[in-house]
Amino acid sequence: MPKMLPQVIAILLAFLVGAIVLTVTGYSPLDAYAAMLSGAFGDTFGIGQTLTQATPIIFTALAFLFAYKCGLFNIGAEGQFLIGALAAALVGISFDGLPVFVHVPLALLAGVAAGAFWGFMPAVLKARLGAHEVITTMMLSYVALYITGYMVNYPFKAPGWVAETVPISPSAELPSILPPTQLSASIFVAVLLAGLTDYTLRKTIIGYEIRAIGLNPTAAESGGISIKKGIILALTISGAMAGLGGAGEVLGVHRRFIEGFSPGYGWDGLAVALVGGLNPAGILLASVLFGALRSGGMTMTRTTHVPLDIATILQALVILFVAAPKLVKYLMKKGGFKW
Amino acid sequence: MVEFLDIITVGLFAATLRLATPIAYGSLGGLFSERAGIVNIGLEGMMLMGAFAGVTVSYFTGNPWLGVLGAILAGGFLGLVHGLVTVKFAGDQVVSGTGINIFALGFTAYMSQVIWGSRGASESVQELPTISIPLLKDIPIVGEIIGTHTPLVYLMIIITVVSYIILFKTPLGLRIRAVGERPEAADAAGVNVFKTKYLCLIISGMLAGLGGAFLSLGHLNLFALGMTGGRGFIALAAMILGKWMPFGAFGASVLFGFADALQMRLQALGLLPPQIILTIPYILTIAVLAGVVGKAIPPSNYKPYVKE
């Protein structure tokens, strides 16, 4: 059986159920899907917006993947992403007149460091005290949400009605690469990170140790690998990746931290990592699908008036169908598929 | 300082009980699920779905009690979905729960636009009445705090007690806990592991749905986009803080309800940014998990059960 087939079937099933929802509520699924497709890929602008939406998800998906390979569920990428975004914004607004080649890396690094710290906390709690990372990363996500909310509502609030920081200095901006779309150089960082993640996991000692812990912690430990060290490293790096993604959004797309600017990129990351078959190349592909749902969804709403949230429903259905691999296998057997 | 003391009023404690109610429903829901060996981070979505279904049914029938029934059924349905994915198809519990949360967010927003043409909020519907408990309402102070509420508040207290009795004083409860902790042994003893898990997940969803109905029908009398606002996760936190025990979960819910009530009062007076207080439940839960405030060890074996 081809490797990605269960994922492809899960996606098809999701669109099928989505079509039922659309039909029952009085919309034409064909028109809606066609509008979505042409909006996402029909012209240069659409493609640019699709890739813009895909970019942050690549980071959060890689973050999920890296921890997952160590047997850890980092479901707090949203918080790490937000904290990274805020840190980058603060560095972006705090300096003026720095050379671009200093300011941009400095702001990105701030995002990495903040995200890493947000991954390091649950990592230590897990390694030293056995606190389950699913709960702690999720709880820390909310802490990050409120802390960033506090920062842009109080100490760093720009004048005016919106809860946001002032714009970052031009010297901290990641260049736009396909105006008038919002696509920024952050996508290069994302693709680079995907390659680096692949290399690290497959070719380095650290990557080997992390995978060994994920596959069989007992065997890894008797083989001389420190589980505690592995857990701390994997979750910290995972947080750093999500934080870098947040920094990229602030420096490349919004050019400031706006409260509520993430429509759930952290949660998308989990979905994209799974739909992508838990490997970096698959993640790049799946992130384009999810990016297309978001950007194509906007076009669909404009032209057919189907509520944008059908895109969210489709994402959720993809997650549920991918979560139940046995269902896909069961359906294939029922349908008489032969391999 | 005087301002600060002014906040501590009878109204604050009555608000505490109101705000604790949806959290308590959710945490009892989480309890049934986790006691049967299934992590339910989909509580948030189940609550949201309940809030939405409650308002929708009340909108079309004009009867908020039918709305409550609708909320129970909608939550129970998502509980069943969680069961299908994680029990029948042995899918990952965290992933399934995440899918349910995202589904509920998207579905309710979508349907709001289909029904009311507005993504942000529904039209107002008939809300649940409040009732006063005779005698109780006449006790000074206490009566003002717990004497007059919607029936869902009192139902929550009753369900807390009933949950304790079911889980710890009946054969069914013994079976549920056995399925959660030692599924092989339960199976060998003739307990239907799968059926028990389904049952608990449906109960879990129904309770979460009730919590949602309280938010929409007993509190605001409309549905608003994402109106649960993380209360499902807070409910999970309350369950952990309550050490997976019904009265513990109830107590933790009251504590979080108090923090929420306090936060609103302080915000209204401009004394303290609300965000700071809103982080308290989460930080407290992390502290509990880390063993800083007593040790919390989950009672369950969360692996999908595969019959030999």
pLDDT, one tens digit per residue, over A132-182 is: 888 899 999 999 999 999 999 999 999 999 999 999 999 999 999 998 999
Percent of chain A with pLDDT over 70: 98
Q: Which residues contact A302 (CB under 8 A, 6 or more apart)?
A: A39
How far CA A112 is from CA of A146, A245, B137, in Å, comes to 20, 8, 56
Digit-coded pLDDT (tens) for A224-241: 999 999 999 999 999 999
How far CA A333 is from CA of A26, A326, A338, A339, in Å, comes to 33, 10, 8, 10
Which residue is listed with tokens 């890689």? A62
Domains and CATH numbers, chain A: 5-18+45-326 (1.10.3470)
How far CA A230 is from CA of A75, A210, A227, B129, in Å, comes to 18, 6, 5, 56
Residue B301 belongs to a domain: no
Full residue range of the structural domain in which residue B11 is found: 2-123+130-289
A129 contact B CB<8A = yes
Is the CA virtual torsion B11, B13, B19, B25 positive or negative? negative
Residue B307 belongs to a domain: no
Task: Give mean pLDDT in consecutive 10-residue pieces for chain B, a chain of 308 residues.
Answer: 65 90 97 94 97 96 95 98 92 92 96 93 87 81 80 95 96 93 90 94 98 91 91 91 92 90 80 83 83 66 72
Q: Is residue B62 classed as helix, strand or coil in its secondary structure?
A: coil
Span A39-61, average pLDDT: 96
- Please say if the pLDDT value at position A338 is more than 50: no
Question: Percent helix, strand and coil across chain B, each rounded to 5?
Answer: 70, 0, 25
Question: A69 phi and psi, to 5 degrees?
Answer: -65, -20
Span A85-93, average pLDDT: 97
Residue B308 belongs to a domain: no
Q: Which of A135, A150, A278, A290 to mutate to test the interface with B (most CBs of B within 10 A)?
A: A135
- Based on its alpha-carbon atoms, the radius of gyration of chain A, rounded to whole angstroms, reads 20
Q: How far apart are CA B228 and CA B211, in angstroms?
A: 9
The β-bridge partners of A258 are A164
- Based on its alpha-carbon atoms, the radius of gyration of chain B, rounded to whole angstroms, reads 19
Name the band, by pLDDT with cuts 50, 70 and 90, for residue A325.
confident
Q: How far apart are CA B207 and CA B190, in angstroms?
A: 28
What is the count of structural domains for chain B?
Answer: 1
A277 contact B CB<8A = no
Residue B298 belongs to a domain: no
Q: List the single range of A37-46, A47-56, A82-91, B138-147 with lowest mean pLDDT.
A: B138-147
CA angle (A8, A10, A11) in 5-degree steps: 65
DSSP B119: S
Closest residue of A to B81, CA-based?
A: A320
Q: Which of B93, B94, B102 to mutate to test the interface with A (most CBs of A within 10 A)?
A: B102
Percent of chain A with pLDDT over 90: 85
The β-bridge partners of B149 are B131
What integer pLDDT is reported at residue B139 of this predicted model?
A: 81
Q: Can you give the length of chain A in residues? A: 339
Q: Is residue B223 classed as helix, strand or coil in its secondary structure?
A: coil
Q: Report residue A145 as tokens.
A: 């949400």
Q: Report residue B226 as tokens.
A: 């994402």
What integer pLDDT is reported at residue A339 of this predicted model?
A: 41
Distance (Å) from the alpha carbon of A235 to chain B's nearest alpha carbon: 16
CB < 8 Å to B110, chain A: 21, 25, 307, 309-310, 312-313
Is the CA virtual torsion A18, A24, A26, A31 positive or negative? positive
Q: Are A228 and A128 in contact (CB under 8 A)?
A: yes
Residue of A106 and B129 predicted with greater confidence: A106
Distance (Å) from the alpha carbon of B40 to chain A's nearest alpha carbon: 11
Residue B294 belongs to a domain: no
- Please say if the pLDDT value at position A31 is more than 90: yes
Name the band, by pLDDT with cuts 50, 70 and 90, for residue A66.
very high
Which residue is listed with tokens 């994209």? A272
Q: How far apart are CA A85 and CA A127, in angstroms?
A: 27
Instruction: Give the end-to-end CA distance of chain B in Å, rounded to a whole number.
Output: 65
Q: Is residue B293 classed as helix, strand or coil in its secondary structure?
A: coil
How far CA A311 is from CA of A206, A315, B266, in Å, comes to 38, 6, 38
Question: A97 phi and psi, to 5 degrees?
Answer: 80, 10
DSSP A166: P
Distance (Å) from the alpha carbon of A201 to chain B's nearest alpha carbon: 23
The helix (run of H) or strand (run of E) holding residue A240 is helix A227-249
Residue B296 belongs to a domain: no
Residue B275 belongs to a domain: yes
Closest residue of A to B279, CA-based?
A: A143
Record: contact B283-A142, CB cut-off 8 A: no
What's this model's pTM, rounded to 2 decimal places? 0.92
**Mean pLDDT of all residues in chain A?**
93
Q: How far apart are CA B236 and CA B234, in angstroms?
A: 5
CB < 8 Å to A327, chain B: 84-85, 88-89, 91
What integer pLDDT is reported at residue B249 of this predicted model?
A: 95
Which residues 171-230 of chain B have a CB within 8 Å of chain A?
Answer: 230
Q: Is residue B121 classed as helix, strand or coil in its secondary structure?
A: strand
Residue B299 belongs to a domain: no
Name the band, by pLDDT with cuts 50, 70 and 90, for residue A51.
very high
Q: How far apart are CA B8 and CA B11, in angstroms?
A: 8
> Which CATH number goes with the domain that contains B191?
1.10.3470
